[in-house]
Every structure is written in C-alpha cells, then in structure tokens.
Amino acid sequence: MEAALCDGSSSKRFLTSVDAEECHSIDEQMVPFTGQGGLKQYIKSKPKKWGYKIWVRSDRLAGKNYKIYFDNLFTTLELLTELKKKKIYAVGTLRKNRLCGADEVLICDKGMRTRGSATYATNKDNITIVKWNDNNLVYTASTFVGMQPTSVVQRWDKKAKKHVDVIRPRAIEVYNKHMGGVDLTDFLISCYRHSLKHKRWYLRLFFCLVNVTIVDGWLIHRWEHGDSVDLLEFRSSVAQALITQGWTKSNQRKGRPSSSYVHPLSLTNIRTRVPDEIRYNLDAGHWPEKSAMKFASRCVVPTCPSKTRYLCTMCKKALCPECFGAYHTK
C-alpha cells in the first residue's frame, strides 16, 4: 500500500514507524464504485454493495507470538495445520461442510437448542473446534484457544423482551475481540470519505489507499503521543503540511517573499488554528509584515497583552515583533 504512495525512503519509514504486533485480523474491504469495470463485484452483505473488493490485514496488541483471525471464507483445518508449522497461530469461524468428521464427536444440533449451549472436539494436531449456539449455531477452529475459560455476555431475548445472560466459550470471546479491525477501518474511512465522483476505477482505488494511509497515520500518532486529536483535525493537518511542503520547495528564496504570491492560508479565517507543521517549520518563510488593517489586533501569544499591526506572512496571525520568535518555537 505505502509503496504506491511514497518513494523508497518513505516506505521504509512507514514500515518501521510501529513494531509488528501480536494479533492480526484479515478480512475483505469494499471500495465503492458504481461505474463501468470488469473487476467490479456485488456483495449484498456490505453497506456499499457495488465496488472493488480488496483484502486487508489489521492488527493490534504488542507482542511476539503472531496470531491471525479470519472468517469462514479462509478457515480450513489444513490451513491451520500449515500455519502452526510456521509457528503462526490462528482462530476463525468454520463452515459446517469443513468439519472433517468432527461432527461425529460434537453434540448434534437437536441437543443444542438452548441458547448458550456449547460443545468442542480436539484432533491429533491439537486443533480445537468449538460449536456454540447463540441466535444460530456457530463453529470456530483454533490452534491456541478452545472452550475454557467461559464468560457471560448479555444478549437480547425477543420472547422475554429483555437482556439475558448467555455463556460464551473462550474461542468466541477472543475471535470477537480481535476480528473487528478491518470493519473499524472501514468505519473511520467512511466518516470523511471524499465526495468526488470518478469514472476511472483506478482513481477510486488510489484514494482508498490514501484514506487508509491517513487513518493508519492517525492511529499511530495517537499511540505515540497519547493526545486526543480527532481524525478531521489530523486530516486537515496532513493536507496543510503537504501544501506547505510543496510551496517551500518551489518558492524558497533569499530575502523577503514576493508580495504578489498568495499563500493558501491567506484565504482562511485569521482565527483558524495554524497546524504545527506550518507554525514550527523554520524553513517555511515566516516574516513579520505590517498589515493594512484599520485597527490593531491583539497579539495571539496568550501572555502578551499588547495590540499590534504586524502579521506573520505565513501563519497570518497578529504578532508583536517581540513575540515573533516565541510563537514559532516549541
């Protein structure tokens, strides 16, 4: 993904920006597209039913023992055996026609009509199949987790019209906890999906990769800094940083910048927060300039009580000459 968006050095930085983690979920993701295209698919269970299907890996929880979570499209006992040989553990939902004889050991369907009832079987390769009755019968297969320890979850009972306690096997609990990473990524992308309509299918895929990269960067930023910056503010900061980077590379010159150049920030409201990538970039071209405003403005430095007619040509903020250096220094 990152190789399509960045140069070689940027790709290496992207891969080394966060350590590989213990738990990985694999699922399909739909890139919405209703135009003409031979690779377009229809999946009725998805919110966006028409589009291009791509496979996505998502992970969380730091550690060294890799564990993979996937749905019944992938899960077979043969696959779990091969992964275990490579010291990769896995758990996934299992289709009934892939039990490989385990149904002869498990309790039959008629004996599991009670909600929360469960049964399990383990083969010679230490793969455990768990059969659980929630609203429907669910099968899971795993090489590292099984029936115990069980837990209690709340489920809605339509007949009683209230929540009831249901016993849940450990394999189901672990699967539900770690399998939602791709769905969460889809949700975060859909929050601020761009509204441009493209007839070219490859542009949809390109912008999907851009959106995934921004979401990944936002999550890494929150993990590293622990702040509560929201996704919209982070996207705006990335856009402003890219605009400024392009401007500084092509417009750097000695002396004061030309007054004929209109910087992108000059069209925004003067009260708009300046992104840190611009405010603290010493190469961006910060210069004090006396404004033509009729009245002086309050200096933006909180500790300064003065009013001034000077603005920063880059940030478009009112700044006293004495406060100019402090404002642009962390």
Res 265: pLDDT: 44
The answer to whether residues 143 and 156 touch, using CB atoms and an 8 Å cutoff, is: no
- In terms of pLDDT, which residue wins out, 9 or 296? 296
pLDDT of residue 84 exceeding 60: yes
Rounded Cα distance, 305 and 291, in Å: 19
In a domain, 80, yes or no: no
In a domain, 288, yes or no: yes
- In terms of pLDDT, which residue wins out, 272 or 226? 226
**Do 287 and 324 belong together in one domain?**
yes
- In terms of pLDDT, which residue wins out, 245 or 168? 168
pLDDT of residue 118 exceeding 80: yes
pLDDT band at 264 (very low <50, low <70, confident <90, very high): very low
| H/E segment holding residue 92 | strand 89-93
Rounded Cα distance, 106 and 7, in Å: 54
Mean pLDDT of 291-315: 85
In a domain, 162, yes or no: yes
Between 16-20, 45-49, 82-86, 269-273, the lowest mean confidence (pLDDT) is in 269-273
pLDDT of residue 227 exceeding 80: no
**Do 235 and 308 belong together in one domain?**
yes
Rounded Cα distance, 241 and 247, in Å: 10
pLDDT of residue 40 exceeding 80: no
Res 255: pLDDT: 52
Sequence-separated (6 or more) residues with CB below 8 Å from residue 115? 133, 134, 135, 155, 164, 166
**Do 41 and 94 belong together in one domain?**
no
Strand partners, 155: 164
The percentage of the chain sitting over the pLDDT mark of 90, rounded to a whole number, equals 12
**Do 127 and 63 belong together in one domain?**
no
Reduce the DSSP state of residue 22 to 3 states and report it: strand
In a domain, 85, yes or no: no
**Do 323 and 234 belong together in one domain?**
yes
Domain that holds residue 94: 90-177
pLDDT in tens, 147-174: 999 999 888 888 888 888 889 999 999 9
In a domain, 223, yes or no: no
**Do 194 and 238 belong together in one domain?**
no
pTM for the model stands at 0.57
Mean pLDDT of 186-200: 76
Mean pLDDT of 214-237: 82
Res 6: pLDDT: 40
pLDDT of residue 44 exceeding 70: yes
Mean pLDDT of the chain: 78
In a domain, 78, yes or no: no
* 3-state helix, strand and coil shares in percent for the chain, rounded to the nearest 5: 35, 25, 40
**Do 235 and 328 belong together in one domain?**
yes
**Do 5 and 60 belong together in one domain?**
yes
In a domain, 81, yes or no: no
Give how many domains the chain has, as a whole number: 3
Res 233: pLDDT: 84
**Do 35 and 171 belong together in one domain?**
no
**Do 249 and 167 belong together in one domain?**
no
Mean pLDDT of 301-313: 87
**Do 154 and 292 belong together in one domain?**
no
pLDDT of residue 134 exceeding 80: yes
Rounded Cα distance, 10 and 5, in Å: 9
**Do 99 and 110 belong together in one domain?**
yes
In a domain, 79, yes or no: no
